[in-house]
Chains A and B, each alone.
Chain A
Amino acid sequence: MATVRQLNVNGRVYTTDADSDASLLFVLRDHLDLTGSKYGCGEGQCGACTVLIDGKSRRSCITRVGDVAQRQITTIEGLAQGDRLHPVQQAFLDEGAMQCAYCTSGMIMTAVSLLNARRDSSAAEIARSMEGNICRCGTQPRIVLAIQRAAKAMNESKQ
């Protein structure tokens, strides 16, 4: 059984002894105590577990940890710079785009990935990009507004 000894998460090297076949989500949560990424379905259907692999969103629950051992992994815990929130995090607060907020970290990570790629999407295009993320509380309209707000902020600050 192959073992993953090191993981690059949030700019830091973690040592681990995880089985390479283990799901990235459970390695993050159980081994590294990074519990901001959430389990929702275990089949990549809800997006609560979304993390960034080299800046692109990926469902950590269906990602073998062995497949990302050499890559840069970013979780919700690594998004803010010190006390300064990422514009997407700030926009979610400003729009009140959450209720129970269990989906929030996955929503934010998916949105960051989207905004890394483009920032001129219409509301309908944003909604399409977020289709793989479930908010059971029904805050989708606010999430779309938050992403539009973040896009504007990022364009203005040229982040």
Chain B
Amino acid sequence: MSKDFNFEAGLEPDRFELAAPPTYHFDVDRREFFRFLGAGVLIVCVLKDACALQESGAGLGAQGPSLPKEIAAWLHIGEDGNVTVYTGKVEVGQNIRTSLTQAVAEELHVPLSSIQMVMGDTKLTPYDRGTFGSRTTPEMNLQLRKVASAARDTLIELAATQWQVDRKRLIAADGKITDSENKRTVEYAALVKGKQLTETLPVEDPLIPAAQWTVAGQPLPKVEGRDFVTGKHRYPCDQKLPEMLYGKVLRPSSFGANLSSLDTQDAEKIPGVIVVHDGNFVGVAAPTTEIASRAISAIRAEWKSQPQISNKELFDYLKKNSAEGGGPLDSPFRYEKGSIEKALASADHRLQQTYTTNYIAHAPLEPRAALAQWSGDDLTVWTGTQRPFGVRTELAAVFHMPEERVRVLMPDMGSGYGGKHTGETAIEAARLARAAKRPVKIMWTREEEFTWAYFRPAAVIDISSAMNKDGKITGWEFHNYNSGAAGIPTFYDIENQRIQFHPANSPLRQGSYRALAATANHFARESFMDELAHTAKMDPLEFRVKNLKNERLRTVFESAAKKFGWGRAKTGAGQGFGMGGGFEKGGNVATFAEVSFDRKSGEVKVVRLVTAFECGAIVNPDGLRNQLEGANIMALGGTLFEAIEFANGQILNGRFSDYRLPRFSDVPVIETVMIDRKDIPSAGAGESSLVGVAPAIANAIFDASGVRLRSLPLVPNGLRVA
């Protein structure tokens, strides 16, 4: 790694995205699959290698095919004038269906209502690695603007040829080309006549600058919003086909358990029930959900399991089972600058602390769901996933078939937050459908989603720091065990640094979660900054600014401070103020928190959150504000009370009555300051906006109570002070 780490350039965006590998390995030589094998097709299983990479922390780095250069792959103008746009990105509630539509409307100069987005359909849309890492706005938004701009140029060219006039006098607007001299017009549809735009994207094509946007940059409402308030929209779990059966899967008694005996006779006797047993997979398909559940209950199975650790031993376990170098868990991130040893030796102040974060669940309100249909040897699956192309690869691998025979479609789903990178239900539904010879739908229960999906990784973070007596940080050593390297580089200006991520053998299946490890890393760093400020006897804001050169970050801290009223006197007992902020995935954020602490009852209440945010030119201000508010509320849960409890390969609090999520009464006053930098390319906002919340609240709790809390969640049972 180069000497000066350019934290703004960041890590490769998806280097630390995680996708847990599929857990099923179906028999290959069963008669149902003979056609694939009998045909003598050579099938290379690429998934195994991909999984090995993912397990070692290398993430979803595979690039896949490069973006198609033909306009036709992305955009089609119909004879009726309607514009269809194709993207492999998916809508999971972040409202990119709206923001991408705006981008196309802006450059193509057509009414918003004429644009239809086809998203996440592996047959129709160009390959896409997946919707994660806040890449839609910086990459796909830009790509579709280029496509729409090239299409507009092509249309002008067509009109110029048709009319035999100089293209400079032609104006594209509202789905038409107008000749500015004689006011003659022609509609786009009449120029194209339903044909494909076979032109390729030019290498250089100036786009409309953000300062001149008229459609992009506007606070437009969710497209097709009406379908969502009337119940008309069909989510993955709402998909249906004629003759469809409902599937259920028999779950092992604990993680890693193996089937030692199985008796399915009683289940098979229930009319209409089909039982499938393939390796460790046991599932049923039935005419209704109730009958499927009854059939699963009628199966007698014994499982062999191994003793496993509980959450009480978690943090010791992670450190003991981490890589210090060498072996398959070799650190994928290590950064050195100057000499941390020398800095510590000559420091006026030395401070050392450990921070931890627990596993938490994504708990998307729509659990995993899939509907699978075989037609001969072709498989079609409708499923909720952030990676339709990744799920296609998983399906092709487990069924030993070419990817071309698999089609995955992703209807706009009930959220993901990084928790739906994998295709469990797609595989289960497809396996049952293969046996049933009818379409099968699988919809996980909440308990299944809590248990058999994957979690946000737990973290242990050790920090040592050296500081001069005037509050200048001179040395910074930072080690993250297990949770990841996202947001691990410090943006403070420090001469001597050692920063390292140590992958560990996680006792639970873990994967990506909105903002990845940036939440844990910012929590530790920004809490520690507060501790340093107190050691230096400096105001925490002044202390940060002293150690921070980056203008964009200084601006968000100062803007949030102003809106919050930082420095004002406290108005009551138990009141506390704190801040935290940082940079991640192109977004700069600072969050200021006010908490109230009731010493008698131990109750900690977050009263107010103020978040200032800047991610370049804003594409949709209302969409951005919605994301910021949502990020603050989602982050509240993991900050205050969310934690997965587990023992012996079982989840102990895997339901909403046992696992507390933020509810209406938990929601504080939330204020946002959005800084629109029209001179900077737009970046995503859904992830970076979370990272300031945990440290801001932890620091405010210290301010209110004098107690330093260094483990997330901070106050699952309130705060007792002697």
The residues of A with any CB-CB pair to B shorter than 8 Å are 19, 22, 26, 29-31, 33-43, 45-46, 48, 75-77, 79-80, 85, 89-90, 92-93, 96, 98-105, 108, 127-128, 130-131, 133-144
**Contact present for B231 and A19 (CB under 8 Å):** no
Return the contact of A46 from the options B365, B632, B667 (Cβ within 8 A).
B365
Interfacial residues, chain B to chain A (CB-CB below 8 A): 92-95, 221-222, 225-226, 228-235, 237-238, 240, 246, 288-290, 363-367, 412-415, 417, 443, 445-446, 622, 626-627, 629-634, 655-657, 661-665, 667, 670
Question: Is there an interface contact between B289 and A101, defined as CB atoms closer than 8 Å?
Answer: no
A130 to B664, CA, bound (A): 7
Contact between A93 and B634, CB atoms less than 8 A apart:
no
Q: For A128, what are the chain B residues with a Cβ–Cβ distance below 8 Å?
A: 664-665
Q: A138 contacts B629, CB within 8 Å? A: yes
Contact B413 A96 (CB under 8 A): no
> A133 to chain B: which residues have CB within 8 Å?
664
A115: shortest Cβ distance to chain B, in Å?
15
**B665 neighbours in A (Cβ, 8 Å):** 127-128, 131
CB-contact partner of A96 in B246, B443, B626, B663, under 8 A: B626
A99 and B95 in contact, given A26-B290, A45-B656, A128-B664 (Cβ under 8 angstroms): yes
Task: Indicate which residue in B231, B622, B664 contacts A35 across the interface (CB closer than 8 Å).
Answer: B231
* Docked pose: A119 CA to B223 CA in angstroms: 29
Q: Do residues B288 and A89 form an inter-chain contact, with CB atoms below 8 A?
A: no
**When the two chains form the complex, which single residue of A45, A76, A139 contacts B230, counting CB atoms closer than 8 Å?**
A76
**Structural contact, A104 and B228, CB atoms closer than 8 A:** yes
CB distance from A113 to the nearest CB of B (A): 15
Given the contacts A26-B288, A26-B289, A137-B630, A36 and B231 also touching, CB distance less than 8 Å: yes
Contact B629 A141, beta carbon cutoff 8 Å: yes
CB distance from B367 to the nearest CB of A (A): 7
Which residues in A have their C-beta under 8 angstroms from that of B415? 99-100, 102, 136-137
Q: Closest A residue to B238 by CB, please name it.
A: A35
Q: How far is the CA of A150 from the CA of B84 in the complex (A)?
A: 35
Chain B residues with Cβ below 8 Å from A46 are 365, 656
In the assembly, what is the distance between CA of A40 and CA of B445, in Å? 8
6 cross-chain pairs, A with B, having the tightest CB-CB distances, nearest first: A36-B231, A100-B93, A102-B414, A138-B633, A138-B630, A76-B231
Instruction: Kindly report which residue of chain A lies nearest to residue B632, judged by CB atoms.
Output: A138
- Shortest C-beta distance, A66 to chain B (Å), equals 13
Closest to A37 in B: B231
Q: Are A102 and B664 neighbours in the complex by a CB distance under 8 Å?
A: no
In the complex, chain B residues whose CB is within 8 Å of the CB of A37: 231
Residue of A with least CB distance to B369: A39
Nearest chain A CB to B19 CB, angstrom units: 21
8 contacts between A and B (CB under 8 A): A31-B288, A43-B657, A45-B656, A77-B232, A99-B415, A134-B365, A136-B363, A143-B664
A127 to B212, CA, bound (A): 41
Contacts of A137 in B (CB 8 A): 93, 415, 630, 634
